[in-house]
Chains A and B, each alone.
Chain A
């Protein structure tokens, strides 16, 4: 009985301690690193022929460069690799995940390339080297000159897998360039590759705007002497000219609809109107004496941000399309223009002039808090979001005072020049995720 009582007492003392076995609590926040480390070794030429080796090299290099462009990945230097899939093999059985973890990778992409008779075939595999399994495996076959398209297709799959969105790889950027002596509209691929001229009329062409299916481009052209609105189908080369008295400018398409908003002044004052894609006026949207220009729609098309001079200086306002209720958004600074509404969230990027210099700012629509994304780097104007809302294209005079197109992250980091052409490049406009066009 003594033993039993002792035991009971002992248990009663120890029990609370075991019941409340404590875990220390450590909070980890504010991470330093933002780019997913990924390894893209050289692709393996399957038969080992010369054209295959070249395609293998170009394919791997393009894949690495494309992933890097997104600013989402950190490409690990090939010199650090501990094994060579282009020699040892590209399947899960061939690779040793520990070799890749040891160099800091979280993911690995291998490729096997076969070239025969002008056709290229690529087997591409994405591995999670921590889970030690293949996450994505695709085979592409097509003409050798379409290798770029295949790599881009694979990148879309990779992004879908890792972020849930298809990314930007099939998008285009339209812009204005003066290289041929006049301001003409061009479009290039998302990474600046393959710029193509779209207008060819030796007058002044401005303000390209993509429809949300990527098939139509609206822009302003002085082809007929004055600023008229051109609405063109890019693949079928047909369209409408909207040419009312006064200015017909700053088009912006309504998401998901064959409708656009534009600033017209045929009734006297510069107001924003809603038009169909065939060039019929539906209704007038703004009703204020003074300039109303540069509309941009929220992702659901229910709200429209625009620039208005109604407060005495150019500021950004937001209008509810249903009720017409309009509220001012920007209160800091005396010159805020060029708004562009993020395609996936409630932020708007715009151009603010402070001290005579233009910089890109981003503002939260709900809170009204704004942050400068560029500073001390010349004049930075015409910001335009990528279709996944992660990157911003803009024009900047930071290099020798000549305007060029740049791309930076939504946080304002990692700016890089997109392309360089004769003359000046301004007014970039990023298309939706998939865009047509020559």
Chain B
């Protein structure tokens, strides 16, 4: 569309041949820029006010903020991932992006051993870590397992993460302009890891009384600043039970300040869905 409009404008102008060449090269360069922008912007959510690097995206987990127990495993995974990213990313530039079938995957997945083959054929389903520990456990071991699972996955980027402790099956995420560009062979993005950590921190602080209807659902959208402080909090969906909604809100407030965002990010927007139901 942009191209055809461009052409019509050109026709309107009716410049001389010399300036025509200039315009053409300008147009070509501009198109190239646009294509590259589109290819790479798909990896990130929202309109980030920052400059993003081209080429291989690798994450040094050791320098990531927040508790990461078992750093050796993710670090090892990262180093192997470093070798591979170059060719796949280049591949991804050519076709704009793979249009993802962003369909929410069912939450209930039989808890399999961690890091086994994905339950679905789709390359974007993460392997399931071991089932959650008993209630009142802090779940740090889980955190490590989920992070390791993310690191070892060699599928496309995911837009959403399921912090239930039983598995991290896929759930529908955003869609639109940026797809989930890139082929296989990429390490998990810094934001995915961040989402897992942040989600766990909030889950650990969430007090939800027994006997509450397990199908209640409250969704709260928050904006996280670079230092982990909360810039905004509002309800996107209320459950109808005020006490329950408040418990979700308090869980977030108790978790502030959240871990600082990964390097280079200044604002992170997340929708948090609270539901008591055991995702197992």
Contact = CB atoms under 8 A, between A and B. Distances in A.
The answer to whether any beta carbons of A and B sit under 8 Å apart in the complex is yes
B156 to A, nearest CB: 15
B176 A22 contact: yes
B260 interface: no
Interface in A72-126: 72, 101, 104, 106
Contact of A21 (B47, B161, B206, B254): B47
Given A23-B269, A24-B160, A410-B211, A29 B46 contact: no
Contact of A34 (B46, B47, B107, B208): B208
Given A26-B163, A30-B278, A9 B5 contact: yes
B108 to A, nearest CB: 11
B159 A27 contact: no
Interface string B204-215: 111111110000
Contacts of B272: 26-28
Interface string A349-365: 00000000000000000
B132 A26 contact: no
B50 interface: no
Interface stretch (A12-20, A144-152, A315-323): A12-20
B162 interface: yes
Contacts of B165: 30
A30 B277 contact: yes
B253 A130 contact: yes
Contact of B191 (A1, A12, A24, A25): A24
A378 interface: no
Given A9-B5, A32-B203, A130-B253, A19 B176 contact: yes
Interface in A127-155: 130
B104 to A, nearest CB: 9
Given A29-B278, A31-B203, A12 B176 contact: no
A293 B262 CA distance: 66
B9 interface: yes
Size class of the A contact interface (CB-based, 8 Å): 35 or more
A25 B271 CA distance: 5
B2 A13 contact: yes
Given A1-B13, A13-B2, A24 B210 contact: no
Contact of A106 (B6, B195, B207): B207
B150 interface: no
B209 A72 contact: yes
A429 B207 CA distance: 31
B202 interface: yes
Interface in A386-403: 389-390
Chain B CB within 10 Å — which of A5, A14, A24, A106 has the most?
Answer: A24
Contacts of A22: 45-46, 159, 173-176, 178, 269
B210 A25 contact: no
A16 B177 contact: yes
A299 interface: no
B199 interface: yes
16 contacts: A1-B12, A13-B38, A20-B178, A22-B175, A23-B271, A24-B159, A25-B160, A25-B171, A27-B164, A27-B171, A32-B137, A32-B206, A72-B209, A106-B250, A163-B243, A389-B211
